[in-house]
Amino acid sequence: MSTKLIVELKDITPEWIADLQQQYSDATLEISIINTKGVAQMNDEQFWNIISLLDWQQDQDDLILQPAVETLKQYAVDDIYYFQDILAEKLFDLDRQVFAEQIGDRKYGEKKHFSVDVFLYARACVVANGKYFFTSVLHDPTKMPKSYSFEALLYLAAKAYEDKTALRWTYLPKKSYETFSNRKGWNGKSWMAAIL
């Protein structure tokens, strides 16, 4: 059995160590030091600057992400979490029926199956194409990409975090970006009612 403890260095006392030794007398301790100080808290401008680093000259998702991952992993761990929160907020903003009706052959409202994943990946494509494209789509849903997606963007923060810390990414953003999470964008429909 493995137990993961996260504690600030300033809170480690001889008493705390003694308690650990008593509770886990036969255990091995692995220590990862994560510096959460440094660059100022992630903000919208920094978010878009990192997004602008995506290398569209590459033909593989990992290579497209790489420059952005390399930059994001230089930030403090908390900033990587904030990056994911900002991404989730933008995907949530696009989680509306009016956008889902504009994604080409797999659009919402057709008699055939509507894929919640395809719509999520299309929204990720909008964000991946930068601030100006994102803003233009928000103002004009007809600019939503037709049959384009970029699922890999969803994993950018996780990759930066794992590269930085060598720990598994388990962070859940403050806002869900899953399709139908923005109930107001679907006239209050639940996900089940929206797909039936």
Q: Mean pLDDT, consecutive 10-residue segments, the chain of 196 residues?
A: 63 71 74 55 94 97 98 95 97 96 86 87 98 97 93 98 95 93 81 48
CA distance 84 to 161: 11
User: 167 in a domain, yes or no?
Assistant: yes
User: 27 in a domain, yes or no?
Assistant: no
Distance of CA 134 to the CA centre of its chain: 16
Per-residue confidence (pLDDT) for residue 15, from 0 to 100: 73
User: 29 in a domain, yes or no?
Assistant: no
CA distance 51 to 36: 22
Q: Which residues form the domain of 47?
A: 40-195
User: 6 in a domain, yes or no?
Assistant: no
Per-residue confidence (pLDDT) for residue 112, from 0 to 100: 73
Per-residue confidence (pLDDT) for residue 196, from 0 to 100: 46
SS3 of the chain: the string is: CCCCCCCCHHHCCHHHHHHHHHHCCCCCCCCCCCCCCCCCCCCHHHHHHHHCCCCCCCCCHHHHHHHHHHHHCCCCHHHHHHHHHHHHHHHHHCCCHHHHCCCHHHCCCCCCCCCHHHHHHHHHHHHHCCHHHHHHHHHCHHHCCCCCCCHHHHHHHHHHHHHHHCCCCCCCCCCCCCCCCCHHHHCCCCHHHHHC
Number of structural domains in the chain: 1
Q: What angle do CA 165, 167, 173 make, to 5 degrees?
A: 95
User: 134 in a domain, yes or no?
Assistant: yes
Distance of CA 171 to the CA centre of its chain: 9
Per-residue confidence (pLDDT) for residue 104, from 0 to 100: 87
User: 152 in a domain, yes or no?
Assistant: yes
Closest CA to 125 of 98, 102, 144: 144
Q: In angstroms, what CA-CA distances link 10 with 14, 100, 184? A: 12, 49, 44
Per-residue confidence (pLDDT) for residue 4, from 0 to 100: 61
Per-residue confidence (pLDDT) for residue 114, from 0 to 100: 87
